[in-house]
Amino acid sequence: MRVKVTVDPLTRIEGHLGIEAVVDNGKVVEARCAGTLYRGFEQILAGRDPLDAVQITQRLCGVCPTAHALASSQCLDNAFGIMPPRNGRIIRNLIQGANYIQSHILHFYHLAALDFVRGPDFPPFVPRYESDYRLPDKVSQEIVSHYVQALHIRLKAHEMSAVFSGKMPHCASVVPGGVTVTPAVDKITTFLWRLKELRDFIDNVYIPDVLTIARVYRDYGEIGAGCRRFLSWGAFDLDDEPDVARRKRYFRMGRCVGGQPEPADPSKVAEDVSFSWYKAAPPASPAVSRTEPDRRKEGAYSWLKAPRYDGAPHEVGPLARAMVNLNGGPPELVKALEQALTELRWKRENLCSVTGRHLARALETQALANAMAEWVLQIKLDEPVAVGHKIPESAEGMGLWDASRGALGHWISIRNQKIARYQAVVPTTWNASPHDGKNQPGPIEEALLGAPVGDGNNPFALARIVRSFDPCIACAVHLVTPRGRELGVARIV
Amino acid sequence: MNGGPPRAAKILVAGVGNLLLGDEGAGIHAVRELARQAPPGVDIVDAGTALGEIVGRLGGYRKLILVDAVEAGGAPGQIVRLEIRDENDLAAAPLPLSLHELGVAEALRQARLLGLLPPQVVLLGVQPARIAPGLKLSAAVARALPALVEAIRAEAAQPLI
């Protein structure tokens, strides 16, 4: 029997996303993933001073604004033809790194863990799907206590960002050409002791909890594979090479298709709007594409566009970085991934799954936190943190950077020293994208296909799959337009 | 977990209620009156309709005194005192549709989960006569208000457990 299962809104994610699945004989045979809000950042930015972009694009989101500061400042670096000095590069990395740690811990404990761990029996932990909690009570209670501890740990991570960014969220010190903060010994030590506490938590709490869930929910190491094509722009610059494609980054830039490494060329990215509420247009590069809403467009079902690489959907995020970096990425990350595979008796393809995504997220948090402890000591107190800039009459710029949730690109066109056009292609636009002109589903839609849905009123498997991607719709959709919405048959809180 | 920041005051008095709904705002009227001449060693907060929003401020105290309109089946204006040993002493609110609808019991549960609930919690309440849109207290509750404020002072003067 075919039934339609609607989860709208899907909660415990960032922003507003609706899922519609057609279930036949207990399995998903069709899935649609809809961004239900429109935002107008492209329109807000047009006509403004290019320097405003770094501050305004951060307002796309309160969870990972830092990545927009980084992508936007790199986009302007590129347009202005400048590169930050070593200190500027390192401090940007530290600000971003602290936010990665914060964001990943937030996602696991405060958004996703309650899919697997029975929380307390009072609001906001209820109502919930009452089924398939497999952990013994004692283990559940322990992880709930980590949920509480993680609130304090995230505070530490925010403080760590703020040491160099002035405040969190929405950092103040990142600018084209570097940063505006002067390093000092007290800043470095206060950063380091917080980092030490975070690393203890990551090593001794976060990773063991993820492994516990991966072991107990073993079938979720096979559920929710997705499109198996991965893209990462890479992140955390390790040298000052102006060409982003040749720059050395801690997380490498690249793709992985069918388990094989492939290069990533930003000129092959195009945004498809066949099923999106935007004026019909052929797929176009974000360097030239337009964002013109058309809310009455026939057949459309999402405010998200569908970015494609060389015409194909690609998953982005920690799993994509793991797949790309397994071939020649940071040795300690590769080693940690391989160790975990052995420990779980997993094959590499098991990583392409619900628990695989959680594992990839946790292990990159650990590798990154360890690397940051070295980076902070590479700051030279007597060296500059920024170079000056001159706003050109006319220029094009591109900033490519991996946010905690995946590949993020900013594109700018400057005319008469003002922003003529701005475009951001953000991680969740890749992952939660709708179908495209070739009728290919987006990565989350594809991951839902075949998912077991026992009871249409209790579609916990769907929620687990979608949440494993850490969707963040706040920045994925292009002004908030209130829209009448039929409440689905299921409501998750 | 930590029990919140160190505090100079040992006792927090939190007025709870909705000033726009007549007697439902009695707790707020009471703490405002109390604040004209605050007892020593006591912090006072107007929690309005959102005790859940200030859970983070409950930590570090030895005693929490909640002041609210309470449906206890008594005569309008009657003052009740309830020692809250656990949150089951309070009726749970119906399941909320949003986080803006959490009741007092849910807020206390959250505070306990976060390790921020003071070891002693006492509810001082007044039986409402009229809960309906309006800024004024009913005559019965208005008459009872000084006694309610006195009850708060007496409670705050009790030796801490």
Q: Which of A11-25, A50-64, A69-83 has the lowest mean pLDDT?
A: A11-25
In chain B, residues with a C-beta closer than 8 Å to the C-beta of A149 are 1
pLDDT above 90 covers a percentage of chain A that reads 81
Cα separation, A403 vs A407, whole angstroms = 6
Label residue A81 left, alpha or beta by phi (over 0 means left) and psi (-120 to 50 means alpha).
left
Position A454 pLDDT exceeds 90: no
Contact B74/A at CB under 8 A: no
Contact B154/A at CB under 8 A: no
Mean pLDDT of chain A: 92
Q: What is the pLDDT of residue B2?
A: 43
Q: Which of B1, B2, B102 faces A123 most closely, judged by CB atoms?
A: B102
A35 pLDDT tier (thresholds 50, 70, 90): confident
Q: What is the pLDDT of residue A61?
A: 80
Task: Please tell me which residue of chain B has the smallest CA distance to A11.
Answer: B98
In chain B, residues with a C-beta closer than 8 Å to the C-beta of A126 are 95
Concatenating the DSSP letter of every residue in A411-439 gives EEEEETTEEEEEEEE-HHHHHT----TT-
For the segment A350-370, the average pLDDT, to the nearest whole number, is 98
Q: pLDDT of A133-176, one tens digit each?
A: 999 999 999 999 999 999 999 999 999 999 999 999 999 999 99
Q: What is the pLDDT of residue A290?
A: 83
Tens-level pLDDT at each residue, chain B (161 residues): 346 778 889 999 999 999 999 999 999 999 999 999 999 999 999 999 888 888 989 999 999 999 999 988 889 999 999 998 877 777 665 555 555 566 788 889 889 999 999 999 999 999 999 999 999 999 999 999 999 999 999 999 999 98
The answer to whether the Cβ–Cβ distance between A123 and B95 falls below 8 Å is yes
Task: Please tell me which residue of chain B has the smallest CA distance to A153.
Answer: B1
Q: pLDDT of A253-295, one tens digit each?
A: 999 999 999 999 999 999 999 999 999 999 999 999 888 899 9
Position A486 pLDDT exceeds 70: no
Nearest to A486 by CA among A20, A166, A142, A11: A20
Angle between helices A137-165 and A86-105 (to 10 degrees): 160
User: CA separation (Å) from A309 to A78, A306, B1, B67?
Assistant: 22, 10, 47, 61
Alpha-carbon gap: A143 to the closest alpha carbon of chain B (Å): 13
Contact B106/A at CB under 8 A: yes
Looking from the CA of A337 toward its CB, the CA atoms found within 13 Å total: 31
Chains A & B: contacts with CB separation below 8 Å: 28
In chain B, residues with a C-beta closer than 8 Å to the C-beta of A123 are 93, 95-96, 99, 102, 106
Contact B56/A at CB under 8 A: no
Q: Which of B1, B87, B93 faces A148 most closely, judged by CB atoms?
A: B1
